[in-house]
Every structure is written in C-alpha cells, then in structure tokens.
Amino acid sequence: MTLDTLPSPAPSAPVFPPGFLWGTATAAYQIEGAAAEGGRTPSIWDTFSRTPGKVRNGDTGDIAADHYHRFRDDVALMADLGLSAYRFSLAWPRVVPGGSGPVNPEGLAFYDRLVDALLEKDITPVATLYHWDLPQELEDAGGWTECATAERFAEYAAAAARRLGDRVGMWTTLNEPWCSAFLGYGNGVHAPGRTDHGDALRAHHHLMLAHGLGTAALRAELPAAAQVSLVLNLAAVRAAGTTPADLDAARRIDGLANRIFLDPVFHGRYPEDVLADTAHLLDWDALVRDGDLAEISRPLDALGINYYTPTLVAAAEDGDAVRRTGPRGDNHAGELTPWPASEGVRFLPAPGTRTAMDWPVDADGLYEILTRLRDELPGTPLVVTENGAAYDDYTDPSGEVHDPERVAYLHAHLAAVARAAADGADVRGYFLWSLLDNFEWAYGYGKRFGIVHVDFASQRRTPKDSARWYAEVVRSGALPED
C-alpha cells in the first residue's frame, strides 16, 4: 500500500484552520549520522554513547538514520505526506567544530542543501539551534555550568543565521532545556552524564542565558519578519490527593518543570518559591548577574510545547521508597532523581494505557498545558513542536508496518489540540515526533517513534500506517471519524 492508495476516511469536526502548520520534527544527532564526516567534531553525545553502560547495547549516533547522505529521499517522503513544515536541528559541532572559532563551510553547506531541498518541495524549514549536542570541547571547559558556553552559543547562532537566514524564517534557540540541565547534569542519564543538583541549576541558568543571548544574535542577523521561539517540555503536573502535603509536592515540581522556565523568559524573574526551595544547593544571587534576566526575557514570536505524558506526584510517607522518575515516566529514572530539592516527593504512575516507553497515554495533559498558557501568556502564539509515541513496530511479511496504537495516540492528542484551540488557545501548528525511527538517546535503537520505519541495517524506509493516516489529516485539515 502506498500513500495514495489509503482509503480516505470521512472528515469530521474538529477542523483545523487554514494556514495551520503541519509538520514532523527530528534532531541532528538522532538521524544525521556522518559523525566524523564533513568537518564535524565530537559532541557530548558522541562521548556519552561511547561510555560503557550509558546507552543500551552500546549504540551510538555514528550512522543513525544516515540522513546526512539520504536527506533528499527523506524530503521526498515529507512531500509525499503533504507536510507544510519540517522542524530539524543544526549540529553545533558540524557548524562550528569545537564550539568556538571559525565556522565550517562544509557543515553549513549541508544545511544549505537541506533547506534548498525543502523549499523546492514547498516545505517550510524550521531550524532549532540546540538539540543537546554540545561540542565536547565546551563541556571540557565546564559545559553549561559556565557562562562562557552561553556566549559561544550566541556566536554560533549568529553564524547560522548569517548563512541560512535568507531562506529560513522560523528559528528556535533551545530544545527542552529541562532535559539538558536536569538529565544531563542532575541525574546523569543524558549527556554529559554529570550528577550534581547544584550543577544542574547552574546549567539551567546558563541555558536560559544562552536562549536570551541567542535570541539577540538571531535578531541582529535575520530579516525583521523572521520568527524566533523557544521550545519547552512543560509538564502537566497533578497532585495525587488534596492534602496540603500532596499539593505542596505538586507546587515544587511545577516550579521545577514549568515556572523556572516561564517566569524568567516571560516575566524577567525566577519564582521566589523555587529560589527558596533550592537555596541550599547554590547561591542564586552569585549565579544570576546583573542584566541576565533582561537578556533571558527578550520578546519571542512563539513558544513551542513538547508533550508526551502527564506527571503525577504525591508527598512521600514515612517508610516510602521515593520513586525517582521524571516527567516522562521511568525513562528518566536513575540512581539519583533529576529534580533538585525534591526530597519528600513521590512520582506515581499515572493511569492509562502505556507506550513502549512505559509512558501513560493521556491527551488531556496537552489540553491542560495549552489552556494554561492561554490564560497565563495571553497574546503568545503556541506551536506543538513535539508529540508522538514509541511502540514495538515491525515490518510484517507483506512489507507493511501496522501501528494502530500510534494512530490512536495521535488522534487523541490532535483532538486535544483542536479542543484547546476552540477554547481560545492560539495554537498555530503541530509537529509530530518523529518523521523517522532514530537513535533514541539512552535507549539507542531500541525504541521507535517514527511514522516511517527505518531498517537500520539497510537504511530502508517504510511508511507506517500512521504516516498514511497523518497524510490524510494534513490533506483534509480535519480529524477522521473515530
């Protein structure tokens, strides 16, 4: 079966507005491969994936989905799906080897070719500057715990904008700084693998500063009509009960998952309760320099939201073993919790069916986040920049990949987006995660999020049923009947 032979389901409400951006999203380290080609130098994920025990099966992103060599085929797949936009990330160590100094012409030329191929197919390129692949040399100098890394990021942002800004009109500074800071420096399940909560908070602040400095650098280089955004993996935090202790547990985690990002970016301040909760871990007054918050709170054109599953918390009771997990379930569990100052908080399994990541399926959480932002940030355009699910997909004897669970997941979450929009949330687009099966960070190649199946031995691409389903939604601008 091909895309054009899928039966067309009858559309029903909700209908998405004309001009709504329909896309998919990927990340450079997860799909590009060519890790030592074209002048690219190692990132923290190259180092981390080569550290025994850090990534399942010792997998690395050396080849990944080989997108570096196969991008034209992948763009053709996007065109077959009818996508209007594609969100990709640039590899910092491909553009600026070592993280500072001269740009790499060969690295930039790759993104030239990718952007031109997208535009030839009338697909809007949406560029993310940082999706976790910090050049290793910068980590060796202290990484995100050092202010200098934020300054180097701004230089890199300016170089990318100078080269691509005539054709790329939509830019994102950072993807999910929560993961970079708290998983990379807090509990060490992501690169660079550090385990210090004070360092996690320092990394958080310097990532926020990098966003602000990067926004300024982009504005200085881009045409006035270009749009600049930030992508956050905000959490739908729920208290398991109504006791004061349970409600306080939810307050703490909401502060660390949501308000520690939203308040400095949109209000130029850190939440007082979060500063108080974490004061024993670092001296915030010494960390936050004069002018930092003004940089961080530069105006944005849109806010990107990544959502997968809700977060359920309760107060720990005497004798309880605290379940040390993150906002996407057991994927973020480690010897140490990623959450600074979360003593006394239990993370509970939310109800619902589960994906192959063991993440509960709950589309209401996406609705909660979008309508919260409607109320708290009026006038801020919103884009769902990642949403999707991993399932245990396989190619059947006829060569097809049937993934009804993913179709059901996408249907429910797109319905939540439409419901939020109908209730006043200014949602401008949806980017499905992900176009391709890829290197899934610490899970290696063991988890498949793509709507296109990748046989990693042959690099053969096979659109799954979910790809055909999504193509019909994109074509009609409406969800089919259940």
* Tokens describing residue 459: 């690099």
What is the spatial distance between Cα 121 and Cα 26, in angstroms, rounded to a whole number?
Answer: 18
Could you give the angle at which helices 404-422 and 364-376 cross, rounded to 10 degrees?
A: 30
What is the spatial distance between Cα 91 and Cα 108, in angstroms, rounded to a whole number?
Answer: 10
Q: Where are the alpha helices (DSSP H) in 126-181?
A: 136-140, 147-164, 177-178
Which of 139, 221, 295, 386 is catalytic? The answer is: 386
* Tokens describing residue 267: 């209000």
37 an active-site residue?
no
106 an active-site residue?
no
What is the spatial distance between Cα 201 and Cα 38, in angstroms, rounded to a whole number?
Answer: 35
- Enumerate helices (H) and strands (E) in the chain, giving the number of each: 17, 15
Closest by CA to 339, choosing from 270, 271, 251, is 251
Which of 139, 176, 221, 440 is catalytic? The answer is: 176
Contact 189, 183 (CB under 8 A): yes
**One-letter amino acid of 311:** T
Q: Is 344 left (phi over 0), alpha (psi -120 to 50) or beta?
A: left
Beta strands 311-315 and 427-433 are unpaired
Beta strands 85-89 and 21-25 are parallel
Question: How far is residue 322 from each of residues 183, 338, 343, 455, measured CA to CA in Å?
Answer: 18, 13, 8, 39
* Tokens describing residue 417: 């987006």
* Tokens describing residue 48: 């981390």
Contact 29, 437 (CB under 8 A): no
Beta strands 11-15 and 478-480 are antiparallel
Q: How many CB atoms lie within 10 A of CB 476?
A: 17
* Residues involved in catalysis: 176, 386
